[in-house]
C-alpha cells in the first residue's frame, strides 16, 4: 500500500473512532451540583445576635498561642505537634499521596527505553539433505520510545485527580491537628478540675474529722448516742475512699496528655490554683460562610469532590480512541559465529502511530463510568454532610456556652447558701436545736454543690475549646 493510501486509511479509522467515541452511555440519574448555601447566622431566625453585622469577627482564625494564654498548655500542644505518633503517620500518608501525583505525571510523559540483547541459535544436521551444522548469532541494541497522545485529557485529568487527593490529605492532616489541639486542651482543663475537686474533698474531710471529734465529745457527755458517732465516722470514711477514685482519674488524665504529647509518663505542669478564677474567653463565631474556608474537613471534602469529578472525566475518556506513537532506532544483525566480529551491522529505525478504539470491552468501561458517577454523587453528599455537621457543631457550642454561663452563676449561689447553712446547722446542733442528721445532710449537700460547681467550670472551659475547634481553629 502506498504512503498516501496509508494516511487515508489512518484518517478513515480516526473518523470512525471519533464517531463511535460519542457513544458514551447515558446516565439515568446524573450527579447534581453540590449545594454550598449556608444560613447567614448561627442563631435561629428572629433571634438577635450580640455581634453586629458590620463588626463580624471569627476567632477560629486565631493562632493557637493567641487563643490559649496558658504557657503550660501551649507547651503540651507544641510537644504533640512534634511527637504525636498519629500525626506523624498521617504526615507519611501525605508523602504517599504526593508520590501518587508523581506517578500520574509520569504516565503523561513519553516512555523511553534502552534495550540490548543477544543470543546464539544452533541448527542441527538435516538428515534428509545432510547439510552441515551451523551456529548463528544475533544481537540488538537500540533506543525505543512510546508516547500516548493525551487527546481527551484522560492522563492529565488522572494526574489532576491525584493532585486533588494529595491536597485533600494535607487538609486531613490539618483537621487532625485541630482535633489534637482541642483534645489536649480539654484534657488539660479536665485535669485542673480534678485537682480542684481533690483539694475540696481533702478540705471537707478535715472539716468532717473535726465535726466527728465534736460528736465523740458530745457522746461522752451523753448529749448524743453511739449512732451519731457511727454516722459521722461513715461519712468521713466515704469521702476518704472517694479521693482515691479522683486520684485514679488524675493519673489516667495525665497519662492521656502524655500520650497525646508523644512521651512517656511524667508530671504534667498546670495552673490548677487559678482554675476557679479563670474566665472562659469570649469566642467570636463570625458568620457560617467562614466555615467553608476555615474548616479543614470542609476543604478536604471539597477537594475530594473535585477529584471525583475528574475521575468521571477519566472514565468517560476510556470510551474514546487512544492514539499512541512508537519510535525506535537500533543496531541489529544476524551473523555466523565464525565471521564475528567482522560481520557487517545495520542500523534500523522507524516511527509508528497506533489508534485504538475499544469495541468489545464496553460493558466493563460502562461499569467503571457508572461507578465513577455514583462516587461523585457520594462526594456531593459527603461535602454537604460535612458542612451541615460543622454548622451544627458551632450552633450547639454557642448554645452550650450560654447555658453553662447561667448554670455556673446559679450553682455558685447554691454553694454560697449551703456554705452558710453549714455554720447555721453546726450552731443549732451545738445548742441541741438540730439533730446530727441535719448537720450531716447539710455538709453532704455543700460538698456535692462544690464538686458540681468545679465540674461546671470545667465544662465551660471545654465548651470554649470545642467552639474554637468547631470554627476551624487550631491548625494554623
Instruction: Give the per-residue pLDDT at 441.
Output: 87
Q: Is residue 348 part of a domain?
A: no
Q: Is residue 312 part of a domain?
A: yes
**CB-based contact 321:354 (threshold 8 Å):** no
Strands 346-356 and 111-123: unpaired
**CB-based contact 161:314 (threshold 8 Å):** yes
Instruction: Give the per-residue pLDDT at 54.
Output: 41
Calpha distance 107→96 (Å, rounded): 17
Provide the β-strand partners of residue 148: 324
Instruction: Give the per-residue pLDDT at 303.
Output: 93
Number of separate domains in the chain: 1
Instruction: Give the per-residue pLDDT at 127.
Output: 46
Instruction: Give the per-residue pLDDT at 130.
Output: 45
Q: Is residue 145 part of a domain?
A: no
Q: Is residue 338 part of a domain?
A: no
Render each residue's pLDDT in the chain as its tens digit; 476 residues: 455 555 555 555 555 555 554 577 777 778 888 888 889 888 765 555 555 444 578 888 899 999 999 999 999 999 999 999 888 888 888 888 777 767 766 666 677 777 777 666 665 555 445 454 555 666 677 777 777 766 677 777 788 888 888 888 888 899 999 999 999 999 999 999 999 999 999 999 998 888 888 888 888 888 888 998 899 899 999 999 999 999 999 999 999 999 999 999 999 999 898 899 988 888 889 899 988 889 999 999 999 999 999 888 888 888 877 777 777 777 766 555 455 455 555 677 777 777 666 666 677 888 888 888 889 999 999 999 999 999 999 999 999 999 999 999 999 999 999 999 888 888 887 777 777 788 888 888 999 999 999 999 999 999 999 999 999 988 88
For position 39, which CATH number holds?
1.20.1600.10
Residue 458, φ and ψ in degrees, nearest 5: -60, -40
Calpha distance 396→235 (Å, rounded): 39
Among candidate residues 470, 463, 420, 403, the one with its CA nearest the CA of residue 185 = 463
Residue 139, φ and ψ in degrees, nearest 5: -140, 160
What's the domain range around 262?
A: 33-109+150-321+357-470
Instruction: Give the per-residue pLDDT at 120.
Output: 66
Instruction: Give the per-residue pLDDT at 53.
Output: 44
Strand ranges inside 44-130, DSSP E:
111-123
Q: Is residue 307 part of a domain?
A: yes
Calpha distance 442→7 (Å, rounded): 103
| Residue 432: strand, helix, or coil | coil
The number of CA neighbours under 13 Å toward the Cβ of 42 is 28
- Helix (H) / strand (E) element for 182: namely helix 154-220
Q: Is residue 449 part of a domain?
A: yes
The number of CA neighbours under 13 Å toward the Cβ of 330 is 20
Q: Is residue 17 part of a domain?
A: no
Q: Is residue 293 part of a domain?
A: yes
Calpha distance 358→365 (Å, rounded): 9
Amino acid at each position: 500500500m502506498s504512503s498516501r493510501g496509508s494516511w487515508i486509511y489512518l484518517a478513515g479509522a480516526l473518523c470512525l473512532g471519533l464517531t463511535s467515541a460519542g457513544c458514551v452511555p447515558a446516565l439515568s440519574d446524573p450527579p447534581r451540583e453540590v449545594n454550598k448555601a449556608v444560613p447567614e447566622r448561627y442563631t435561629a431566625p428572629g433571634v438577635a445576635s450580640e455581634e453586629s453585622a458590620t463588626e463580624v469577627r471569627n476567632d477560629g482564625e486565631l493562632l493557637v498561642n493567641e487563643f490559649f494564654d496558658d504557657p503550660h498548655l501551649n507547651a503540651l500542644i507544641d510537644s504533640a505537634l512534634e511527637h504525636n505518633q498519629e500525626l506523624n503517620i498521617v504526615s507519611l500518608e501525605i508523602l504517599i499521596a504526593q508520590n501518587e501525583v508523581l506517578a500520574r505525571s509520569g504516565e503523561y510523559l513519553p516512555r523511553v527505553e534502552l534495550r540490548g540483547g543477544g543470543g546464539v541459535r544452533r541448527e542441527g544436521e538435516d538428515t534428509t539433505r545432510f547439510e552441515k551444522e551451523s551456529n548463528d548469532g544475533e544481537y540488538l541494541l537500540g533506543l525505543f520510545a512510546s508516547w500516548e497522545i493525551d487527546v481527551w485529557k484522560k492522563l492529565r485529568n488522572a494526574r489532576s485527580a491525584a493532585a486533588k487527593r494529595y491536597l485533600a490529605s494535607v487538609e486531613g492532616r490539618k483537621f487532625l491537628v485541630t482535633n489534637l489541639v482541642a483534645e489536649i486542651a480539654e484534657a488539660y482543663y479536665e485535669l485542673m478540675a480534678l485537682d480542684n475537686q481533690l483539694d475540696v474533698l481533702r478540705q471537707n474531710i478535715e472539716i468532717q474529722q473535726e465535726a466527728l471529734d465534736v460528736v465523740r465529745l458530745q457522746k461522752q457527755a451523753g448529749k448524743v448516742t453511739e449512732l451519731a458517732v457511727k454516722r459521722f465516722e461513715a461519712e468521713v470514711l466515704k469521702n476518704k475512699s472517694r479521693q482515691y477514685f479522683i486520684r485514679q482519674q488524675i493519673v489516667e488524665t495525665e497519662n492521656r496528655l502524655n500520650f497525646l504529647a508523644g512521651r512517656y509518663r511524667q508530671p504534667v505542669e498546670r495552673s490548677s490554683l487559678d482554675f476557679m478564677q479563670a474566665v472562659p474567653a469570649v469566642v467570636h463565631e463570625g458568620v457560617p460562610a467562614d466555615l467553608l474556608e476555615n474548616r479543614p474537613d470542609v476543604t478536604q471534602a471539597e477537594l475530594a469532590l473535585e477529584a471525583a469529578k475528574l475521575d468521571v472525566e477519566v472514565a468517560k475518556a476510556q470510551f474514546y480512541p487512544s492514539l499512541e506513537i512508537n519510535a525506535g532506532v537500533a543496531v541489529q544483525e544476524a551473523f555466523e559465529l565464525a565471521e564475528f566480529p567482522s560481520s557487517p551491522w545495520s542500523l534500523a529505525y522507524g516511527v509508528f502511530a497506533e489508534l485504538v478504539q475499544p469495541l468489545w470491552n464496553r460493558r466493563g468501561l460502562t461499569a467503571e463510568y457508572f461507578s465513577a458517577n455514583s462516587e461523585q454523587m457520594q462526594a456531593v453528599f459527603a461535602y454537604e454532610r460535612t458542612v451541615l455537621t460543622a454548622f451544627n457543631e458551632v450552633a450547639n457550642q454557642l448554645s452550650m456556652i450560654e447555658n453553662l454561663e447561667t448554670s455556673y452563676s446559679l450553682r455558685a449561689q447554691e454553694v454560697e447558701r449551703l456554705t452558710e447553712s453549714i455554720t447555721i446547722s453546726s450552731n443549732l446542733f451545738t445548742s441541741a436545736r438540730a439533730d446530727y442528721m441535719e448537720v450531716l445532710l447539710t455538709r453532704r449537700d455543700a460538698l456535692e454543690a462544690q464538686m458540681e460547681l468545679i465540674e461546671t467550670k470545667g465544662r465551660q472551659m471545654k465548651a470554649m475549646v470545642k467552639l474554637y475547634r468547631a470554627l476551624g481553629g487550631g491548625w494554623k
